[in-house]
Amino acid sequence: MDVETLERIPGTQDDPIKAIITLPGVLTNNDFDTGVALRGTRPEDNRYFLDFLPTGYLFHLTGISVVDGDLMAQLHLMSAGFGVTHQGVIGGIISANTKDPAKRFGGVADISIIDAGFMVEGPVTDRQRATAAARISYYDLVVGDIVKERQEEEEPGLDIVQLPRYTDYRLRYQIDVGSRGKLDFLVDGAADDVQFNLGDDAPSAILDPARAGSYRYDIAYSRQGVVYSQPHSSGKLRLGLGRIQSDITGESGDIGAIESEVKETVFRLQNELRIATHELTFGLSVSGMDVERDLLVRDTGCTEFDVDCLYSDQDLETSRVAETFVQGNVFIEDQFALSNSVDLTVGLGYTKDDYLNNSALEPRVRIDWAANDFIVVSAGTGRYSQMPRFDYTEQNLGNPSLANLESDHYVVGINAIVGRGYLASINAFYKSMDNLVTSDPVIRYDNRGEGRAWGGEFLLRKGLGKLTGWASATWSRSFRENTVTGEVSRFQFDQPLSVSLIAKYDFSEKLAFSGRIGFHSGAPVTPIFGGQPHPDRPGDFLPVYGGLNSERLPDYLRMDLRLDWKTGWRDTLLYFEIINATNHQNVMAYEYNRDYSERRYIEQLPRFISFGAKKRF
């Protein structure tokens, strides 16, 4: 979908990237998720690109993206079966491009009760242009006392010092090179922080006393890059060189503390050539990583396959690491016509790193058949691989001999024009995942986990007329298996049914009303069936767990409404939103009392009203 379609969706803060949660195959478990699960894989299994280069992180702690929606030009979501131009990931790709700076002066000012942002753009010379933008949140100052009071009433032992807040900035300087080439200089970054205290009477501290104490998280990234783009007679060449620094400083009660700095220098090359009936794409990507991390932690050694993991059972350990390594990949892809109605795309990628010394060949193939002027049928398959996260591979507390995670993707789909202004899409997918990380009592971590995910997706979009919108539905299942124990469990984002309904009605050029309804099956949770006396702490209890992710939270339902009014005062746009208009009680987790004989809900966003104004000049 184009960016204009994904703008102004209720409940997304005019953020086209966040709006992908309304599309098929994109899953979140609650209103506060800072990433998305794509077709049976975890958010950390995705990779994000902005203007051709990778970025530090894509979502703020509040769930909105680090890119102001007024800057967005294109958004590509690849959730499975994508070609070899992207490697090193078993999940999906979210790739966004910002708008070219305008050739005349202009800008946008946007102020709401949540945040404020501005964007200015315009020419510097006849062949040079620039865009600058910045945004800062302040809802903690406007409604902070109300939010704090409500959350502290609902969660005993919680003392909020600082609600999540964020800033982001972006600068793009563009120079024309030759008749058609462009050279873009990119400078951008973001920062988030939050701080709170948990008392000994907090439910999570009752479960695990090490959780009591002060919590503070500061995360930030900064990126500098240059991208050269040159269309030519037979295709397009793109070159990119970037440097990304990501910093994390955190304190988690008596669990521990972390200071981490990751510097990545990346070079990307992608060239597209048309030769006779062939469309060739080839290129490479090389990343040099410098990782420095100081860690003081009660390390449980647990993974997604483990249940009974209490920090209080572990002693504090120190880990100081400094690693430098290189990861790279090369690829070639050929798309050619088998007939007037059938195209075949064949690609091969090779990836290698010198840290784990793992390498992989990644063949991928796709076929597209235009059955007629209205229907296209597509099918594809491919091999995907990814390095395990650094927590599992660092030399002190991990296992640097782990193998890469691997996944095979299979997809088939039909895209059709079903009437004037109506587009429909039906897709089915299957993913297998191997070498997933499991805990091991001897070598700390091993690759004994497997995963399977499958499902079907439907999208119907109406894009013409006063009434526009779409309906999407996903039926899917996803499971994990620990091959050591033989235990099969639901994946933490296993949602059998997910549905979104989006509708917008333009009463006139100045007045529009829109609504969004989102539904999904409850997130899997591991239940606790009572408690038993703790042998070492009189008066405390140990939980008796059920099977991993063997129970579900209640189903999720949320309706958001929005009114847009373009006033007569210099076309200033006023917008009003009601979030969770029905005030439906959506559950994020369970809390238990001290002996685990009772439990209660932790709720997500209640109903609240938001409004703001946007002025273009």
What is the tens place of the pLDDT at every residue in 259-279?
999 999 999 999 999 998 899
Which residue's structure tokens are 């033989």? 486
Stated as kind and residue range, the H or E segment containing 393 is helix 390-393
Q: Which residues contact 37 (CB under 8 A, 6 or more apart)?
A: 26, 27, 28, 29, 43, 91, 493
Tell me: pLDDT of 141 over 90.
Answer: no
Residue 133 banded pLDDT, cuts 50, 70, 90: very high
Residue 294, Cβ neighbours under 10 Å: how many?
Answer: 15
The type of residue at 24 is P
Q: In the structure encoding, which two tokens stand for residue 243, read together? A: 């440097």
Name the DSSP class of 24: T
CA 82 to CA 39: how far, in whole Å? 13
pLDDT at position 152 over 70: no
Cα 562 from Cα 579, distance rounded (Å): 9
Q: Where are the domains of the chain?
A: 3-616
How far apart, in Å, are the Cα atoms of 487 and each of 50, 132, 303, 547? 39, 52, 14, 9
For residue 221, what are the contacts with CB-CB under 8 A and spacing of at least 6? Answer: 55, 56, 57, 189, 190, 244, 245, 246, 247
What is the per-residue pLDDT for 130?
Answer: 98
24 touches 598 (CB < 8 A)? no
The neighbouring-strand residues paired with 570 are none
**Region 544-562: what's the mean pLDDT?**
95
Backbone angles phi, psi at 35, to 5 degrees: -170, 175
Name the burial class of residue 609, with classes exposed (0-12), middle (13-18) and buried (19+) by CB atoms within 10 angstroms of its CB. Answer: exposed
Q: Which residues contact 537 (CB under 8 A, 6 or more apart)?
A: 209
Helix (DSSP H) and strand (DSSP E) numbers for the chain? 5, 35
- pLDDT at position 156, please? 76
- CA 120, distance to chain mean position in Å, is 27
Average pLDDT, the chain: 93
Rg of the chain taking only CA atoms, in angstroms: 25
Least confident of 57-61, 391-395, 541-545: 541-545
Q: Is 3-616 in CATH node 2.40.170.20?
A: yes
Mean pLDDT in residue range 434-454: 96
Q: Is the pLDDT of residue 204 over 90?
A: no
Copy the structure tokens of residue 44. 């950390």
Backbone angles phi, psi at 70, to 5 degrees: -70, -15
Residue 201 pLDDT: 83
- State the pLDDT at residue 401: 95
Kindly state the DSSP code that residue 537 receives in the 8-state scheme: S
CA distance 584 to 190: 32
Is residue 221 classed exposed, middle or buried when 0-12, 13-18 and 19+ CB atoms within 10 A define those classes? buried
φ, ψ of residue 5 to 5 degrees: the values are -70, -35
Task: Please report, as a single letter, which amino acid is at residue 368.
Answer: D
**312-369 residue pLDDT tens:** 989 999 999 999 999 999 999 999 999 999 999 999 999 999 999 999 999 999 999 9
**pTM score:** 0.93
Q: What is the pLDDT of residues 476-524, one digit of tens each?
A: 999 999 999 999 999 999 999 999 999 999 999 899 999 999 999 999 9
- Quote the CA–CA distance of 222 and 186 in Å, as a whole number: 11
Instruction: Tell the residue number behind the tokens 């991993």, with chain if given.
Output: 548
Partner residues linked to 247 by β-bridges: 220, 261
472 contacts: CB under 8 Å, gap ≥ 6: 22, 23, 24, 457, 458, 459, 460, 499, 500
Specify which residues 85 forms β-bridges with.
Answer: none
pLDDT of 118 above 70 = yes
Q: What percent of the chain has pLDDT over 70?
A: 98
Strand partners, 202: none
The continuous run of DSSP H or E covering 575 comes out as: strand 573-579
Displacement of CA 378 from its chain's centroid (Å): 26
Angle ∠(536,539,542) on CA atoms, nearest 5: 65
Q: Residue 71, SS3?
A: helix
452: nearest Cα among 437, 431, 429, 483: 431
User: CA-CA distance, 122 to 131, in Å (whole number)?
Assistant: 7
The greatest distance separating any two alpha carbons of the chain, rounded to the nearest whole angstrom, comes to 79
The predicted structure's pLDDT at residue 313 = 87
Query: What value does the mean pLDDT take over residues 381-397?
Result: 95
**For residue range 416-426, what is the model confidence (pLDDT) as tens digits?**
999 888 999 99
The helix (H) or strand (E) run that includes residue 146 is helix 144-154
Tokens in use for 514? Answer: 């829109």
- Using DSSP, state whether 542 is helix, strand or coil: strand
Once rounded to an integer, what is the mean pLDDT over residues 151-174? 87
